[in-house]
Structure 1
């Protein structure tokens, strides 16, 4: 049992603190953005899973009377014949308080994001019109050349009249493919979860870095999908004429961060042969993903199986 706790704590340290900086130093992330996103997601999920397992075992560990939460629920303490340890009660209270604080920080951020998107969609319902030739697109009368996606059941992609006037038809199709890739691959959910987790557990460096790194990687992954379907030239042309925001955007605005990402995307699409290549990077990455998720899950499962019955 103690060995499982130590191993889970090691997983939290490795995945929660070391994995993020290591991923930032990879030289091939721009060449394999989808794989890199999967690695970041696995590191974040593994760290959270290990931390949850560590907290759960701390609540049920039968080290001292009164520390095992299951005993309290099952009313087994009178059978032990011992008094409740104040230190054990304090430890249990601290674990529960930390979990409650994390939820208090994460849930409101998710709720604000969902509420903001709903208000944005309601605004669009009043001022935008459907594009007859595209069943998933609505048009907003605005001179700013802008195309973005807002997750919704109906017509989740918004195109301004400024974009339709400035872009060539092939460029419009390339950008629409980019936005559809965001929606199909549920990039908006990844960004919401990364934002919530980084606010709930800010002391884990990997979660903080994932919150700032994933948006750019998701743009590169959507670019790859659009380039495979429509070629690189139309997408480069569109990027040079306009700012394409990510799925997390909640307002019709161009920000400096978006402009910086657009420059990186143009350079990457213009000269793909310059991207660094690492032999066997993809299979090794998937082995790392399996390990990041499987090791914490296995340790937590084995520790639970070794627990004695509460009564």
Structure 2
């Protein structure tokens, strides 16, 4: 029982106390890719810790180490010795099923979110076939709509969409800057991270980690795409384009340049950011790995 309580406390720490601190981290805006990695690691750590906590709660403290070894043996991660595996009892099945259900909950939502996103994407592609006009010079599809908007549909085939309203208000450099932004989403497969975070939020509604991870991941992915655009085009061109298309909304399953946190991104684009310290990535990897390993050690140490 002590181990179960300790693991539950650790899960609460990862799910409620750490997310606000990570959301306020100053280094995240300088190294958005590392920040996305940190948020993904935090979500994995929470799921693993919650599963271990449930496992030990069902188990009972006096059978923890024996049954945990039995669980590893059943999963093929350890050998049971020369006498072979003992018959699986109802209690053993419960011990195995309880943590598996904790893992299957977000996995089930992930499958559903992937299916919904794919269905929405197919619907948008079918609509673009009817109302879209190819623009080979921009490698995009033009839609006759007055509101300035630029967005992309990732996957295969991918599609970048520009409205007539955007063509009317953007200069060529501004247009190419936002197109580069959208191509960064496609090349980086950012839609997959959107689906992962959405599934986690559906599985654990109300959890601070779910809310912060969704907000911050969406924002960091937009910053990553902004950085890609600024490699080839000026800050002023991208900033002006952000202002012009901020009111445009991307349809479901699409990523739009207006995106998340336009004001935060606009301030970041216009302000010369210091280069991220070279120690950020190693520190994030070590911290994420340590956070994940600690509950495993806590669960296995006698």
The residue that corresponds to 2:79 in the other structure is none
Q: How many aligned residue pairs are there?
A: 289
Q: CA deviation at 1:176?
A: 0.8
Alignment pair present for 1:286 and 2:282: yes
The residue that corresponds to 1:169 in the other structure is 172
Q: CA deviation at 1:147?
A: 0.7
Alignment pair present for 1:129 and 2:133: yes
- Three-state SS of the structure 2 residue aligned to 1:202 is coil
| 8 A contact 1:128–1:140 mirrored in 2 | yes
TM-score (normalizing by structure 2): 0.75
Alignment of 1:42-191 (within 5 A): 42-52=41-51, 63=63, 76-77=86-87, 94-135=98-139, 137-191=140-194
**Larger mean Cα displacement after TM superposition, 89-98 or 19-28:** 89-98
In structure 1, distance between residues paired with 2:260 and 2:102? 37
The residue that corresponds to 2:81 in the other structure is none
Q: Residues 145, 49 of structure 1: CA spacing in aligned structure 2 closer, same or farther, 3 A cutoff?
A: same
- Three-state SS of the structure 1 residue aligned to 2:154 is coil
Unaligned runs of 5+ in 2: 77-83
In structure 2, distance between residues paired with 1:72 and 1:232? 53
| 8 A contact 1:105–1:200 mirrored in 2 | yes
- Three-state SS of the structure 1 residue aligned to 2:231 is helix
In structure 1, distance between residues paired with 2:298 and 2:32? 34
TM-score (normalizing by structure 1): 0.73
In structure 1, distance between residues paired with 2:253 and 2:111? 22
In structure 2, distance between residues paired with 1:76 and 1:178? 57
The residue that corresponds to 2:252 in the other structure is 250
Q: Residues 245, 190 of structure 1: CA spacing in aligned structure 2 closer, same or farther, 3 A cutoff?
A: farther
In structure 2, distance between residues paired with 1:253 and 1:30? 20
Q: CA deviation at 1:63?
A: 1.9
- Three-state SS of the structure 1 residue aligned to 2:161 is strand
Q: CA deviation at 1:148?
A: 0.4
In structure 2, distance between residues paired with 1:66 and 1:286? 36
The residue that corresponds to 1:237 in the other structure is 240
- Three-state SS of the structure 1 residue aligned to 2:30 is coil
Unaligned runs of 5+ in 1: none
| 8 A contact 1:59–1:95 mirrored in 2 | no
| 8 A contact 1:45–1:293 mirrored in 2 | no
Q: Residues 168, 145 of structure 1: CA spacing in aligned structure 2 closer, same or farther, 3 A cutoff?
A: same
Q: Residues 77, 115 of structure 1: CA spacing in aligned structure 2 closer, same or farther, 3 A cutoff?
A: same
Q: CA deviation at 1:192?
A: 0.9
Alignment pair present for 1:296 and 2:292: yes
